[in-house]
Amino acid sequence: MKFTASSDVDRSCAPRACVDLSALRRNADTVRKLLPSKRLMAVVKGDAYGHGLVESAMALVDAGVEALGVASLEEALELRDAGVPEAVRILAWLYAPVHNDARIAEAIRARIDLSVGSMEHLAAVHRAATSVGELVRVHLEMDTGLGRGGVQMSVWDDLARAAALHEASGAIRIVGLWTQLSYADAPEDPVNERQLAVFRRGEAVAQSYGLRFEAVHTSTSARALTRPTSELYGDTVRIGLALFGVSPVSGTSSHFWGLSPVLSVTAPIVQVKFLEAGARIGYDESHRLSRDGYIGLVPMGYADGVPKYLSRGADVSVRGRRHAVVAVNMDQFLIDLGRDPVPVGAVATILGSDGAVTIDANDWGAAIGSYGDEIVVRFGAGLPRTY
Ligand SMILES: Cc1ncc(COP(=O)(O)O)c(C=O)c1O
């Protein structure tokens, strides 16, 4: 085989992720324009869905988001340390209420809003706020059916009453009320309406104890993009996927929603070989070549976020053509180049655009029975990133 030098030969010789922060800012603008009457809480948990926590959050702050949402106190503190101004609220919703007073106190000093979704959390936050001597802003979390964080309706009254009492004591201020819907990714599912009805009842109970909320939030990307604004219960939306340019609605591309993918992942092909029809390749001879052709070896595997079982098939693009992934090991995977020999060092686009071809995180997500968020969060974390 003879090849001439080509501009698509990867001279970095290593897999890498590239994060397009201007696309992230543009996506934030697009979401804002779609939802002009809502405040935007950008969800940047999971290292900003694998895009880099601090870099992504700063770009989103630049784009004017009012708040950031994260799971852990550590993520929230990292954001404040990195310079997210106090005018931008940061909400953290996943932390232990026991053996954790020092960290909770640190979060209060850093002006982090804390979610409270159990009596234990309420007690811990009250204890820490009293010891710090500063007022903490609290969002109450209601479990309307998902069964994870939050207090369910059967015991909601207890939490609402206790929260109101603590507020009266002056150590905490209840500013928010929120829930995560069980069918957050399927906005048309009637269960969502049932859960929102429970939520409204919970809100009324809380109000009956004198609580008033400045931030009520129930909607995430799929609902926010597909339902009329009037149906998005609350004044704030918590948006992750859409900001990162991954379509939250299966069967649609990000471009359909006016969003651009933010993460692209590429790797050089490190070996190309010709094999004859009938060759059985991969562990356990898992793949059989149906015709003579070329196989390319890509130096990424499940240690780097490539799912081992791409049972429904996934493609990468090389030189603007799709090629199927045929076997994934811990540190490498094989692609079927068919009759297209390419030079060693050619770039395989694993996520993102390559000429007319776009490899969408949701296609890879579907291949493992999941969504694009699982793919971007896997890929981003372990790879060197350029911004
Ligand atoms: C509590 C919470 N809010 C908001 C989001 C953002 O959802 P999405 O990425 O679909 O916008 C998530 C993500 O799973 C979440 O767990």
Residue 222 CA: which ligand 1 atom is closest?
Answer: 10
Q: Name the pLDDT band for 10 (thresholds 50, 70, 90).
A: low
What are 128's two structure tokens? Answer: 């820490």
d(CA 205, CA 153): 10
pLDDT in tens, 90-141: 999 999 999 999 999 999 999 999 999 999 999 999 999 999 999 999 999 9
Of all protein residues, whose CA lies closest to atom 6 belonging to ligand 1? Answer: 240
d(CA 86, CA 65): 13
What pLDDT is recorded for position 8? 57
d(CA 251, CA 242): 14
CA of 236 to the centre of ligand 1 (A): 13
- The vertex-291 CA angle with 290 and 297, nearest 5°, equals 90
d(CA 306, CA 91): 31
Residue 93 CA: which ligand 1 atom is closest?
Answer: 1
Ramachandran category for residue 211: left, alpha or beta (phi over 0 → left; psi -120 to 50 → alpha): beta
The DSSP code sequence of 236-298 is: EEEE-TTTTT--SSTT--TGGGT----EEEEEE--EEEEE-TT-EESGGG-EE-SSSEEEEEE
Residues with catalytic function: 45, 283
Beta strands in 284-355 (DSSP E): 287-288, 293-298, 315-318, 321-328, 333-338, 347-354
Q: Is the distance from the beta carbon of residue 240 to the nearest atom of ligand 1 less than 6 Å?
A: yes
Q: Name the pLDDT band for 1 (thresholds 50, 70, 90).
A: very low
Nearest to 320 by CA among 347, 295, 299, 297: 347
Q: Name the pLDDT band for 181 (thresholds 50, 70, 90).
A: very high
Contact 27, 260 (CB under 8 A): yes
Residue 178 CA: which ligand 1 atom is closest?
Answer: 1
Find tokens 């970095």 and name the residue: 12
Non-local (6+) Cβ contacts of 229 within 8 A are 35, 37, 38
Q: Is the distance from the beta carbon of residue 149 to the nearest atom of ligand 1 less than 6 Å?
A: no
Q: Is the distance from the beta carbon of residue 221 to the nearest atom of ligand 1 less than 6 Å?
A: yes
Non-local (6+) Cβ contacts of 284 within 8 A are none
The radius of gyration computed from the CA coordinates of the chain, to the nearest angstrom, equals 24
What pLDDT is recorded for position 313? 87
Q: Is the distance from the beta carbon of residue 239 to the nearest atom of ligand 1 less than 6 Å?
A: yes
What pLDDT is recorded for position 2? 39
Of all protein residues, whose CA lies closest to atom 1 belonging to ligand 1? Answer: 180
Of all protein residues, whose CA lies closest to atom 3 belonging to ligand 1? Answer: 238
Q: Is the distance from the beta carbon of residue 150 to the nearest atom of ligand 1 less than 6 Å?
A: no
d(CA 100, CA 90): 19
CA of 237 to the centre of ligand 1 (A): 10
What pLDDT is recorded for position 11? 59
What pLDDT is recorded for position 200? 98
What are 2's two structure tokens? Answer: 């003879």
Find tokens 């471009």 and name the residue: 255
Q: Give yes or no for residue 5 having a pLDDT over 70.
A: no
CA of 69 to the centre of ligand 1 (A): 9
Contact 216, 177 (CB under 8 A): yes
pLDDT in tens, 218-249: 999 999 999 999 999 999 999 999 999 999 99
What pLDDT is recorded for position 12? 62
What pLDDT is recorded for position 102? 97
More confident residue, 226 or 2: 226
What pLDDT is recorded for position 310? 86
